[in-house]
Amino acid sequence: MRDVLKTEELDIPEGIEVSIKSRLISVTGPRGTLTKNIRHVDMDIRLLKGKTTKVTLAVWQGGRKHVACLRTIKSLITNMITGVTKVRISIYESDVLPNDLFLS
Among 3.40.720.10, 3.40.50.300, 3.30.450.40, 3.90.930.12, what is the CATH number of 3-87?
3.90.930.12
User: Minimal CA–CA distance to 10: which of 46, 61, 63?
Assistant: 46
Mean pLDDT of the chain: 86
Query: Which residues touch 33 (CB under 8 Å, ≥6 apart)?
Result: 26, 27, 84
Say what the pLDDT of residue 36 is: 95
Concatenating the DSSP letter of every residue in 33-75 gives EEEEE-TTS--EEEEE-SSSEEEEEEEEEE-HHHHHHHHHHHH
**Is the torsion defined by CA of 47, 14, 77, 67 positive or negative?**
negative
Question: What confidence category does residue 92 fall into, taking pLDDT thresholds of 50, 70 and 90?
Answer: low
* Rounded-to-integer distance, Cα 13 and Cα 28, Å: 12
List pLDDT tens digits, range 36-77: 999 999 899 999 999 999 999 999 988 888 889 999 999 999
**Is the overall model pTM greater than 0.85, yes or no?**
no
